[in-house]
Amino acid sequence: MSMATTAEVTPPDAGAVEARVRDLLARMTLSEKIGQLSQVNAPWDGEDLPEDFAEAIRRGWIGSVLNAVGVEQVNEMQRIAVEESRLGIPLLVGRDVIHGFRTVFPIPLGQAASWNPELIREGARIAAREAASTGINWTFAPMVDIGRDPRWGRVAECLGEDPLLASRLGAAMVQGFQGDDLRADDAIVACAKHFAGYGASESGKDYAATNIPERELREVHLPPFRAAVDAGCQTLMASFSDLDGIPATANHFLMTTVLRDEWGFDGFVVSDWDSIHQLAIHGLTGSDRESAYEAAMAGVDMEMASRCYIEHLERLVEEERVPLERIDQMVANVLRVKFRAGAFESPYRDSALFPALGNDEHRAAAYESAVQSGVLLKNDHGTAGPTLPLDLDALDRIAVIGPLTDAPGEQLGTWIFDADASISTPPLASLRDACDGRCEIEVVRGLETTRDRRHDAFPAAVAAAQAADVALLFVGEDAILSGEAHCRADISLPGAQEALIEAVAATGTPVVLVIMAGRPLALESVTGFVDAVLYMWHPGCMGGPAIVDLLTGRRNPSGKLPITLPRVTGQIPIYYAHRRTGRPPTPESFVYIDDIPPHAQQLSIGNTSFHLDVWFRPLFSFGHGMSYTDFRYERLRLERDSVEIGQPVRVFVDLVNEGDRPGVEVAQLYLHDQVASVTRPVRELKDFQRVELEPGERRTLEFLLPPEAFAFIGRDMKPRVEPGRFSLWVGRDSDATLRVELELTRETRA
């Protein structure tokens, strides 16, 4: 047996697949059909498959398993399915392969900070290859929920706050997992989740209800799913969340009207874990049988973990409540994916044919991903120039402080079932290598974990900082503080980290914060004290070398925020593409709480849209990220200032690297529709480009805005484009000021 890679396999013939689906369906009993709709958690930790489980596979009662670990066990399950069940239908073997498998890449939100679809595609390719070698043929990724509430623990898994960015990066992940051909041995089926709206869970609390108006759903939350489907994603997962009274798992509008009728999706939808059973807990149904009915009729094809389908669908068919044709559609959707995935042709995996897990090449890719995910938020100039990059030859002594200095497991972040922390390199190890023979380092963690509240070790940390030329503080969040069901009501630095930073900064030694976290943190109370801030998210197993190379300038930071960083938790939700309101805040109208006269009664203070106790802008805006070189944008221009609806628009801008080192800039194009029949966000990202420029180099960038870029969801909930004036900015972040105006005119063609 030899391994076929995705580049070597020719795509399957759609007609042949449909014929095989029909043929198989015609030979299946109702019980075998319902078996294909059931996904069961793998029941054992050891070697032997329990007989009742083996028997269930043999009888065709299981269509998919999840969390099976180890290629021998998976091959054995496949053998029973293929050789001992009546129809020999192979299993889909699912697993949460979210940001790498053995080789852990940055959390998805970190990867999104690269704004680099190719890099993300390559990361998913490697994750797929590693996972496939253990028998997995289906991952529950990418998560393309829009994250606009960093209290939500799952913001770590998302690709940011913006629909265009999440669409491009999510599609790239799908392509990476599924490869050029899904039948190749190293390809795995992707699953775009959680359909839909999960990111809008109330107060950022997992599993909470969502209330999303249809326009926002269509403009913000659905586009990344559409992009995943268009990229060939074969499965979607229904969300746990309630959407305006109809939980996503029972939501016909989402799973049938939008997904099947409007988008023409022909893969399958899996529920989330137990989410069909939970329909009764939501209070939508009174029993598992009713839950099975609701989910099946709404559009969930396969049930994960709970047993509503396996126990009740047969009866529902007999009672003629669920038509047999509906069951056949559901089964056909599942079988189609199994055929497309080549599961019938090659159900087994031989791990010896795959590259070793966690090998050097894979770790080199994880390193590159971590480098590109790093966002330089702040870099003050001292008397001797900017704080970063550090010149190790010019420093005598560095103080290395903070709970994440040497925490190989924590820097991996959430969803790391298959990781190996022993191949995770923390910053301390990499710093020791880099400093060897050049400068001294003194290490004082200061706090045991990021949640530690004790100040006992502060004096040692302060002494180390006093004796050093620079203090590096590795702070943030332990891995356990983000991910599913790990939400926070206060997203400032946990434990006594703020106090530690303050104490160290009080020494007067320059302080560099390196933040590793599963979410945007509210950092207003500390960024003022420090000289530089490098935001690394949870950077994965190569975090250490990536951080050190960024700090020392071996690599030039290029990451850009894929999500807004609020000043304080109470600003949430805060995102760049908000609506303007009738009373937008201005610096002149803003009134700060300390400036209100004593004993003031009801008086007019500003009367614009702001909080009294925090400046109305975020701490760091969407798209922000600095470099060690200086980029300048100039000569923003349009091919024509007036364009007919339906025509594309060409936009040009000159980008110059004015600094003294090569660098990568992510040029971002934003648009605003000035007057429309529905109020529009103040700006919307419409395109971006990663551009590498040598010192002194100037390049003209060209963007091509397609006619759809000007569309929005009208009052009738359908896309429309209206004539009128648009503002257009290109620049380094969502605050870009270089602007041109465009007139969109009515179509003159009949």
Q: Which residue has the tokens 């000035």?
A: 674
CB 15 to ligand NOJ: min, Å: 33
Spatial contact of 414 and 152, defined as CB atoms under 8 Å apart: no
Residue 302's nearest CA partner among 112, 508, 104, 40 is 40
* Dist CA 246 CA 253 (whole Å): 10
Rounded to 5 degrees, what angle do the CA atoms 169, 527, 112 make? 5
Task: Please count the residues of this chain forming the interface with ligand NOJ, following the rule CB under 6 A.
Answer: 6
Is residue 449 helix, strand or coil?
coil
Question: Which residues 260-279 are close enough to bind ligand NOJ by CB under 6 A?
Answer: 272-273
140 contributes a contact to ligand NOJ by CB under 6 A:
yes
418 contributes a contact to ligand NOJ by CB under 6 A:
no
Q: What is the DSSP letter of 686?
A: E
Beta carbons within 8 Å of 356's beta carbon, 6+ residues apart: none
Between 272 and 665, whose beta carbon lies closer to ligand NOJ? Answer: 272
Between 272 and 478, whose beta carbon lies closer to ligand NOJ? Answer: 272
Other CB atoms within a 10 A radius of the CB of residue 492 amount to 15
Backbone φ and ψ for 496, nearest 5 degrees, come out as -100, 25
Q: Is 660 noted as a catalytic residue in this protein?
A: no
Between 303 and 665, whose beta carbon lies closer to ligand NOJ? Answer: 303
* Amino acid at site 665: E
CB 360 to ligand NOJ: min, Å: 30
CB 207 to ligand NOJ: min, Å: 9
Q: Which residue has the tokens 């050093």?
A: 468
161 contributes a contact to ligand NOJ by CB under 6 A:
no
* Dist CA 737 CA 728 (whole Å): 10
Site string for ligand NOJ, 178-207 (x = CB under 6 A): ---------------x--------------
Task: Identify the active-site residue in 96, 149, 272, 478.
Answer: 272
Backbone φ and ψ for 648, nearest 5 degrees, come out as -75, 160
CB 284 to ligand NOJ: min, Å: 18
Strand 303-304 vs strand 242-243: parallel, antiparallel, or unpaired?
unpaired
* Dihedral class, residue 686 (left if φ above 0, else alpha if ψ from -120 to 50, else beta): alpha
Between 97 and 296, whose beta carbon lies closer to ligand NOJ? Answer: 97
What are the helix (H) ranges across 535-676?
Answer: 543-552
* Dist CA 64 CA 538 (whole Å): 31
Q: What is the DSSP letter of 94?
A: E
Site string for ligand NOJ, 368-397 (x = CB under 6 A): ------------------------------
458 contributes a contact to ligand NOJ by CB under 6 A:
no
Longest dimension (CA), the chain: 83
CB 79 to ligand NOJ: min, Å: 25
CB 288 to ligand NOJ: min, Å: 19
Site string for ligand NOJ, 94-123 (x = CB under 6 A): --x---------------------------
* Amino acid at site 316: L
CB 107 to ligand NOJ: min, Å: 14
484 contributes a contact to ligand NOJ by CB under 6 A:
yes
* Amino acid at site 84: E
Between 204 and 663, whose beta carbon lies closer to ligand NOJ? Answer: 204
Supply 624's token pair. Answer: 């922000």
CB 334 to ligand NOJ: min, Å: 17
Which residue number has the CB closest to ligand NOJ? 140
Count the helix, strand and coil residues of the chain and give each as a percent rounded to the nearest 5: 35, 20, 50
Between 95 and 148, whose beta carbon lies closer to ligand NOJ? Answer: 95
Between 143 and 327, whose beta carbon lies closer to ligand NOJ? Answer: 143
Between 42 and 441, whose beta carbon lies closer to ligand NOJ? Answer: 42
Q: Which residue has the tokens 């004036």?
A: 725
By CB under 6 A, name the binding residues for ligand NOJ.
96, 140, 193, 272-273, 484
Catalytic center residues: 272
